[in-house]
């Protein structure tokens, strides 16, 4: 295992990869004034490790009850089921995808009977897309299966680790902010 400033981080292949001991000069300007250099390096290393762990955890949980939908397709459907009908452009913006990509996603969802297109009551020339009852039921079922898979992994932790994780949930929600 390669070590740099007493920090190592496994890369996605499982091999150990060194983590930068310090921050680059252009990132130093983004740091709060008076932040100790040691803390800056620790936060930098933790952010890299956290990013990898979140990605892996998301993949593990995504495999639980995912049905036949890919992550982007499921995300668009879940957004519609939760937020209600919206125009394609608004959905594309919210999902962070290009309009042509979203058009293909919506076409596949529509073909599967999970969404419908409807006239926008605010502008009869525009079209909105909405989750059908089947689409809403599918997202609820997948969400329940994924939550259960995550809950089971959490319950397998030692009690002290579980307590730390439970206390961190509001902090994680704060990191997401309005984008959640």
**pLDDT tens track for 72-91:** 899 999 999 999 999 999 99
Tell if the pTM clears 0.85, that is, is over it.
no
Residues 6+ apart with CB under 8 A from 60: 149, 153
* 1 or 121, higher pLDDT: 121
pLDDT tens-digit series, residues 52-62:
999 999 888 88
Question: pLDDT value at position 115?
Answer: 97
């Amino acid at each position: 295992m390669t070590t740099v400033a007493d920090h190592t981080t496994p890369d996605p292949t499982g091999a150990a990869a060194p983590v930068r001991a310090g921050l680059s000069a252009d990132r130093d300007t983004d740091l709060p004034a008076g932040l100790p250099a040691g803390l800056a390096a620790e936060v930098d290393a933790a952010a890299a490790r956290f990013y990898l762990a979140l990605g892996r955890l998301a993949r593990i949980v995504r495999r639980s009850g995912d049905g036949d939908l890919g992550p982007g397709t499921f995300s668009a459907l879940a957004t519609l089921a939760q937020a209600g009908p919206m125009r394609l452009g608004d959905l594309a913006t919210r999902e962070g995808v290009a309009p042509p990509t979203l058009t293909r996603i919506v076409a596949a969802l529509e073909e599967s009977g999970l969404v419908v297109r409807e006239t926008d009551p605010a502008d009869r020339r525009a079209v909105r897309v909405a989750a059908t009852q089947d689409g809403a039921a599918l997202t609820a079922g997948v969400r329940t299966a994924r939550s259960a898979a995550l809950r089971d992994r959490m319950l397998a932790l030692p009690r002290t680790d579980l307590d730390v994780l439970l206390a961190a949930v509001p902090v994680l929600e704060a990191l997401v902010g309005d984008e959640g």
